[in-house]
């Protein structure tokens, strides 16, 4: 992998990740851009103990542009986008409309491919492996940024999820605090350690492997399963079999196998609801250990992949119980979801 760092016209950092070492990335950004101005702030909720980002400037972000005005496509035929190069493998740049900025963290956009009409599931294993390298490199770099406590790599796919740019891309957040979900996991892991002397994540993975009913697929170094108490209609958790706290600690064997396992999962997601159905909307979220939190060594890196579609043409809405009380009601039994995801294997 070759990494090239450059700057956009307004000073934001742009990084190219290339599979070949001989690629030269020297295209300049000629756009007359004003400096990025944000209103981002972070507020603490004293009742719930969590944190909310307030970012009113995001109201003006790009919203469903036509394909020929996509800001994530390469710059070609006289049209200049966020990517000055005429082609690229993987590109990462600072978001022009960040939810977190400056001393309050960092938000980045990750373009998985220059092909506007592709999806992550269309990537080759080599391309997916390059994205993994980019995620890992950004985690390592952001770990050195003062004030960044946790790195979150994720992808939103589909209009139903709220995606406003159709080009295949994801995002990376560098949070200046431990996220609420991670704090809950750390608390549960600490309680389990105190009660049993064992690691909670290890016991969860071992239990799923032993029971088998919810295992979707298993490789030599990764296992994917629907969790026992799945919140979403179709939800899969993907764990490396050797527990590590974050992407930086994956060994070469796990890195090599990841693309095949992950691409197979994504392709199965697109087949859940049968032929002729539109692509399945999903959120794909890497859970990594916060950098300095107590209990970091007990945390287990894993990816959570889920869809809000519960059946053909119907979405799972977060209504009163979910939104008002954070009590999820799942219409699809986890065992049935796992069976369906096994049925649609390629």
Q: Could you list the active site residues?
A: 169
Dist. CA 338–CA 341, nearest whole Å: 5
Cβ atoms 149, 290 nearer than 8 A: yes
Q: Which of 76, 60, 174 lies closest to 116 in space, CA to CA?
A: 76
- Whether residue 282 contacts residue 238, with contact meaning beta carbons closer than 8 Å, is answered with no
Decide: residue 302, CB within 10 A, 0-12 exposed, 13-18 middle, 19+ buried.
buried
| Contact assessment for residue 88 and residue 74, using Cβ atoms and an 8 Å cutoff | yes
């Amino acid at each position: 992998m070759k990494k090239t760092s450059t700057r956009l016209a307004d000073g934001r950092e742009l990084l190219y990740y290339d599979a070949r070492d001989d690629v030269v990335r020297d295209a300049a950004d000629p756009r007359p851009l004003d400096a990025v101005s944000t209103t981002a702030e972070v507020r603490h909720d004293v009742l719930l103990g969590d944190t909310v980002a307030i970012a009113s400037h995001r109201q003006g972000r790009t919203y469903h542009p036509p394909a020929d005005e996509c800001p994530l496509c390469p710059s070609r035929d006289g049209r200049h986008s966020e990517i000055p190069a005429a082609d690229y493998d993987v590109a990462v740049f600072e978001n022009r409309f960040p939810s977190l900025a400056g001393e309050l963290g960092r938000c980045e956009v990750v373009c998985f491919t220059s092909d506007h009409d592709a999806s992550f599931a269309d990537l080759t294993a080599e391309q997916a492996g390059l994205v993994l390298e980019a995620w890992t490199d950004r985690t390592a770099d952001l770990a050195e940024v003062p004030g960044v406590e946790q790195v979150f790599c994720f992808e939103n796919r589909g209009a139903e999820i709220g995606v406003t740019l159709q080009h295949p891309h994801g995002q990376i957040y560098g949070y200046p605090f431990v996220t609420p979900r991670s704090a809950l996991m750390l608390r549960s892991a600490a309680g389990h350690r105190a009660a049993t002397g064992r690691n909670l994540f290890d016991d969860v993975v071992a239990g799923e492997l032993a029971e088998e009913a919810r295992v979707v697929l298993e490789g030599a170094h990764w296992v994917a399963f629907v969790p026992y108490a799945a919140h979403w209609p179709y939800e899969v958790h993907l764990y490396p079999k050797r527990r590590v706290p974050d992407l930086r600690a994956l060994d070469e064997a796990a890195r090599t196998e990841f693309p095949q396992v992950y691409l197979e999962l994504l392709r199965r997601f697109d087949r859940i609801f049968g032929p002729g159905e539109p692509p399945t909307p999903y959120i794909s979220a890497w859970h990594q250990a916060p950098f300095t939190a107590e209990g970091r060594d007990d945390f287990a890196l894993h990816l959570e992949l889920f869809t809000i579609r519960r059946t053909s043409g119907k979405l799972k809405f977060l209504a009163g119980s979910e939104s008002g009380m954070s009590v999820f009601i799942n219409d699809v039994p986890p065992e049935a979801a796992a069976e369906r995801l096994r049925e649609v294997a390629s």
